[in-house]
């Protein structure tokens, strides 16, 4: 028999029965609010779970060549942290349609973090596959050259930011994250510049079109 859980609505405090299925949106029968998973709780759980997984990987001295072993460590860390943080922050929140949209700073920050994390994930995944390929079918020189791409641009300034096979996974994640920060910053600036130019051209086109319509109305 499936377990039936009951939670309290974060808005009015009324009881809501959770269905034994993968449904994450509920309608509160008391205040008619839509109850969803809390973004604050998920964000905090992800961040603390990530930090805990790095601590465990550091304690186990996990090497960069054994990076896939970090994935189950992170999953278990997230589950444990999510259970503990649920005692402090409610894992659910009430979604309201009249909530104000995020501001410009919040949108830009979210976009930058998405680009940054995406670059880190891409470099780690691609670099790991390319590194194992160079290790299996290539030479040690090919392996070193494949890891040099992880070290740009800070590797040109400080040799501590150069990735090598003997370095641990936590250290490599730190190096890749530091380098990816500058790549993400550059891409963000390029995107904002192109976006501003496109908006300026669009406003100019609309203004010209509006003037033409007005002149035709005056002629009539």
Asked if residue 207 is part of any domain, the answer here is yes
Number of domains in the chain: 1
Per-residue model confidence (pLDDT) at position 220: 45
Per-residue model confidence (pLDDT) at position 213: 46
| pLDDT averaged per 10 residues, the chain (length 220) | 61 69 67 78 93 93 84 94 89 68 83 92 81 68 70 84 83 91 92 84 57 48
Per-residue model confidence (pLDDT) at position 135: 66
Per-residue model confidence (pLDDT) at position 82: 92
For 146, counting Cβ atoms within 10 Å of its Cβ (0-12 exposed, 13-18 middle, 19+ buried), the class is buried
Asked if residue 198 is part of any domain, the answer here is yes
The model's pTM is 0.70
Beta carbons within 8 Å of 131's beta carbon, 6+ residues apart: 64, 65, 143, 146, 147, 165
Asked if residue 34 is part of any domain, the answer here is no
Asked if residue 12 is part of any domain, the answer here is no
Asked if residue 183 is part of any domain, the answer here is yes
Asked if residue 29 is part of any domain, the answer here is no
Asked if residue 71 is part of any domain, the answer here is no
Beta carbons within 8 Å of 37's beta carbon, 6+ residues apart: 24, 91, 92, 93
Query: In terms of residue numbers, what domain contains 114?
Result: 100-212
Asked if residue 63 is part of any domain, the answer here is no
């Amino acid at each position: 028999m499936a377990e039936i859980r009951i939670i309290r609505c974060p808005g009015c405090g009324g009881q809501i029965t959770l269905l034994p299925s993968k449904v994450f949106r509920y309608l509160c029968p008391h205040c008619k609010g839509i109850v969803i998973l809390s973004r604050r709780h998920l964000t905090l759980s992800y961040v603390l779970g990530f930090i805990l997984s790095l601590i465990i990987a550091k304690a186990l001295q996990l090497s960069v060549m054994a990076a896939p072993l970090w994935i189950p460590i992170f999953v278990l860390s997230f589950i444990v942290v999510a259970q503990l943080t649920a005692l402090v922050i409610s894992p659910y929140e009430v979604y309201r349609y009249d909530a104000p949209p995020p501001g410009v700073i919040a949108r830009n920050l979210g976009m930058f973090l998405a680009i940054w994390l995406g670059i880190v994930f891409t470099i780690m995944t691609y670099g790991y596959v390319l590194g194992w390929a160079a290790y299996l079918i290539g030479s040690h020189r090919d392996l070193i050259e494949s890891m040099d791409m992880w070290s740009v641009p800070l590797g040109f300034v400080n040799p501590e930011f150069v990735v090598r096979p003997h370095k641990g996974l936590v250290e490599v994640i730190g190096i890749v994250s530091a380098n990816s920060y500058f790549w993400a910053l550059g891409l963000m600036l390029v995107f904002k510049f192109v976006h501003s130019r496109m908006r300026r051209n669009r406003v100019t086109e609309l203004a010209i079109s509006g003037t033409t319509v007005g002149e035709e109305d005056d002629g009539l």
